[in-house]
């Protein structure tokens, strides 16, 4: 099947935008399948940076079909701003971008609830971006959400919003001490911004299956990462959706057997944003060094990312739950100046040594990394365009990752630009399996 899924194999921010952009060259369709405007996928073309929150990363390739799938939660206000921003920069969106009429809508009430809950957490913050993502998914699961298809019936929309606010306004006033919202104002806002969404609406599931029947190459783009997956991540410090390969199927309307290849994107080290356990985290000094070398600041929130060594316990967990067929290693160049590099191969938790990723957040919080050390290469990798052009110690490091993960490395990124990439073999770009 000519369907390829791109999955984040860590705590997000792995560089999925660049990898999707690269592989979009040979794709006909690029479909985003989960998450919302909390994503921040950066694509650098000719030194020019584009930050994409909802629009798929294939939009910068003319002639590609870009789809926002049913598994995405769509903020109409953010979508309108992003589309207008792309138009102003000369990027074509009309006729090549489509939004599922089954996606769920993020409303003002969701954003206000998200901010109120995170602000009242008192030391128990999850690390939300406050974009209303979790409350939108909560309403989706609670069967009180709104979808684009519903907006054709104004009376139905108003009744759903009013019923939704009956409960949330009590929380706003009595628990969080914020101003209640009126159903009329929420409806007016979504209607105003929805005018910019409506021209892009389509039965995207039907579209994808039509393209599949025609033998077109389809690229599925995930947001966040495996360790933020609602089921398989470091719960409760996770996102509200399935960022793993299972979400790629449900979030587009494809069957699992129709996905032929799953690439896990992974930094040559590890980062995470916000709260939660992080066993391989550096001390403050080394974190600062790597953060500045790698530009490790959130593309959506601007928050500084926490940095640490590559965590193979977590990566092997990602290989397992996603059924990864290969890895794309990004930001290898950030390690160019390090004399010694470590990989975490196990956790020490009390008297136990563990090589599986624990379900218990308290266990993960107590985990101490057991590491294997490697010599650094102390030379620039940014001009390498083949494995042979990499320093010997860099190749040794990549081979170790392959051996420990149990899957091959197909792509290596040595810089932010499209051109700063190594394709290990010709199959790395291929959609035939």
Domains plus CATH for the chain? Answer: 3-101+202-262 (3.40.440.10), 104-196 (1.10.300.10), 267-429 (3.90.170.10)
Q: Which of 150-154, 204-208, 370-374 has the lowest mean pLDDT?
A: 150-154
pLDDT more than 70, % of the chain: 97
The C-alpha atoms of residue 123 and residue 134 are separated, in whole angstroms, by 19
What mean pLDDT, rounded, does the chain reach?
Answer: 93
Segment 321-331 shows an average pLDDT of: 97
The C-alpha atoms of residue 342 and residue 146 are separated, in whole angstroms, by 47
Residue 185, both tokens = 């104002």
136 and 156 Cβ atoms separated by less than 8 Å: no
Segment 209-214 shows an average pLDDT of: 96
Among residues 277, 273, 374, the alpha carbon closest in space to that of 332 is found at: 374
List all residues 6 or more positions away from 230 whose beta carbon is below 8 Å from its beta carbon: 238, 239, 240, 241, 242, 243
Segment 270-274 shows an average pLDDT of: 93
The C-alpha atoms of residue 240 and residue 119 are separated, in whole angstroms, by 18
Number of neighbouring beta carbons within 10 Å of residue 240:
23
The C-alpha atoms of residue 280 and residue 286 are separated, in whole angstroms, by 12
Number of neighbouring beta carbons within 10 Å of residue 147:
15
Among residues 313, 308, 303, 333, the alpha carbon closest in space to that of 397 is found at: 333
Band (pLDDT 50/70/90 cuts) for residue 219 is very high
The C-alpha atoms of residue 404 and residue 385 are separated, in whole angstroms, by 24
pLDDT more than 90, % of the chain: 85
Give the pLDDT confidence score for residue 121 in this predicted structure.
Answer: 59
Three-state DSSP class for residue 424: coil
432 has pLDDT over 80:
no
For the annotated catalytic residues, the residue numbers are 13, 41
Give the torsion through C-alpha atoms of 410, 413, 414, 415, to 10 deg.
170
Three-state DSSP class for residue 99: strand
The C-alpha atoms of residue 178 and residue 176 are separated, in whole angstroms, by 6
The two counts, helices (H) then strands (E), for the chain are 12, 20
pLDDT tens-digit readout, 225-242: 999 999 999 999 999 999
- The alpha-carbon radius of gyration of the chain (Å, integer) is 22
Among residues 331, 336, 340, the alpha carbon closest in space to that of 381 is found at: 336
Q: How far apart are the first and last CA of the chain?
A: 7
Give the pLDDT confidence score for residue 42 in this predicted structure.
Answer: 83
315 has pLDDT over 80:
yes
Please, which residues bridge with residue 422 across strands?
412
Number of neighbouring beta carbons within 10 Å of residue 142:
11
- Length of the chain, in residues: 433
Q: How far lies 286's CA from each of 280, 293, 295, 306, in Å? A: 12, 11, 14, 10
Positive/negative CA dihedral, 361, 367, 373, 376: positive
pTM of the predicted model as reported, rounded to 2 decimal places: 0.94
Three-state DSSP class for residue 128: coil
CA atoms within 13 A on the CB side of 312: 21
Give the pLDDT confidence score for residue 83 in this predicted structure.
Answer: 96
Higher pLDDT, 409 or 129: 409
List all residues 6 or more positions away from 107 whose beta carbon is below 8 Å from its beta carbon: 132, 136, 146, 161, 186, 189, 190
- Please name the residue that has the structure tokens 């932010």: 416
pLDDT tens-digit readout, 113-168: 998 987 765 555 555 678 899 999 999 999 999 999 999 899 999 999 999 999 99
Give the pLDDT confidence score for residue 302 in this predicted structure.
Answer: 82
Segment 36-56 shows an average pLDDT of: 86
Helix axes 183-197, 154-170, angle to 10 degrees: 130
Band (pLDDT 50/70/90 cuts) for residue 41 is confident
State how far Cα 31 lies from the chain centre. 13
Q: Are strands 368-375 and 340-349 parallel, antiparallel or unpaired?
A: antiparallel
Band (pLDDT 50/70/90 cuts) for residue 423 is very high
Band (pLDDT 50/70/90 cuts) for residue 38 is confident
Residue 271, both tokens = 């980062």
Q: How far lies 137's CA from each of 2, 141, 366, 401, in Å? A: 30, 6, 30, 35
Three-state DSSP class for residue 194: helix
297 and 273 Cβ atoms separated by less than 8 Å: no
The C-alpha atoms of residue 192 and residue 372 are separated, in whole angstroms, by 56
């Amino acid at each position: 099947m000519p369907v390829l899924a791109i999955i984040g194999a860590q705590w997000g921010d792995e560089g999925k935008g660049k990898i999707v952009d690269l592989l979009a060259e040979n794709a006909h369709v690029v479909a985003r399948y989960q998450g919302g405007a909390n994503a921040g996928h950066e694509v650098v073309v000719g030194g020019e940076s584009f930050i994409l929150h909802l629009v798929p990363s294939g939009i910068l390739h003319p002639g590609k079909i870009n789809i926002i799938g049913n598994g995405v939660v769509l903020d109409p206000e953010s979508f309108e701003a992003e589309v207008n921003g792309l138009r102003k920069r000369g990027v074509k969106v009309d006729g090549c971008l489509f939004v599922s009429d089954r996606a769920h809508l993020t409303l003002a009430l969701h954003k206000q609830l998200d901010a109120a809950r995170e602000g009242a957490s008192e030391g128990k913050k999850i690390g939300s971006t406050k974009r209303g993502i979790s409350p939108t998914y909560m309403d989706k699961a609670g069967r009180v959400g709104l979808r684009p298809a519903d907006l054709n019936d104004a009376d139905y929309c108003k009744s759903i919003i009013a019923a939704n606010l009956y409960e949330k306004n009590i929380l706003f006033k009595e628990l969080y001490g914020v101003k209640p919202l009126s159903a009329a104002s929420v409806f007016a806002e979504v209607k105003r911004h929805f005018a910019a969404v409506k021209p892009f609406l389509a039965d995207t599931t039907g579209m994808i299956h039509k393209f599949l029947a025609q033998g077109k190459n389809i690229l599925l783009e995930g947001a966040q990462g495996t360790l933020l997956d609602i089921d398989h991540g470091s719960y409760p410090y996770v996102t509200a959706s399935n960022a793993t390969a299972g979400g790629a199927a449900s979030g587009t309307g494809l069957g699992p057997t129709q996905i032929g290849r799953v690439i896990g994107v992974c930094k040559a080290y590890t980062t995470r944003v916000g709260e939660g356990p992080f066993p391989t985290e550096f001390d403050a000094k080394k974190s600062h060094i790597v953060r500045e070398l790698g530009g490790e600041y959130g593309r959506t929130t601007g928050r500084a990312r926490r940095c640490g060594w590559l965590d193979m316990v977590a990566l092997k967990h990602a290989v397992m739950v996603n059924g990864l067929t290969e890895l794309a290693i990004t930001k290898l160049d950030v390690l160019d100046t390090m004399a010694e590099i470590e990989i975490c191969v196990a956790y020490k938790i009390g008297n136990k040594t563990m090589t599986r990723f624990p379900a218990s957040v308290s266990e993960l919080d107590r985990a101490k990394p057991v590491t294997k050390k490697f010599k650094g290469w102390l030379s620039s990798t940014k001009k390498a365009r083949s494995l042979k052009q990499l320093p010997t110690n860099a190749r040794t490091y990549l081979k170790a990752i392959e051996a420990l993960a149990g899957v091959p490395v197909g792509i290596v990124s040595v810089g932010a630009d499209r051109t700063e990439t190594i394709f290990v073999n010709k199959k790395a770009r291929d959609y035939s399996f």
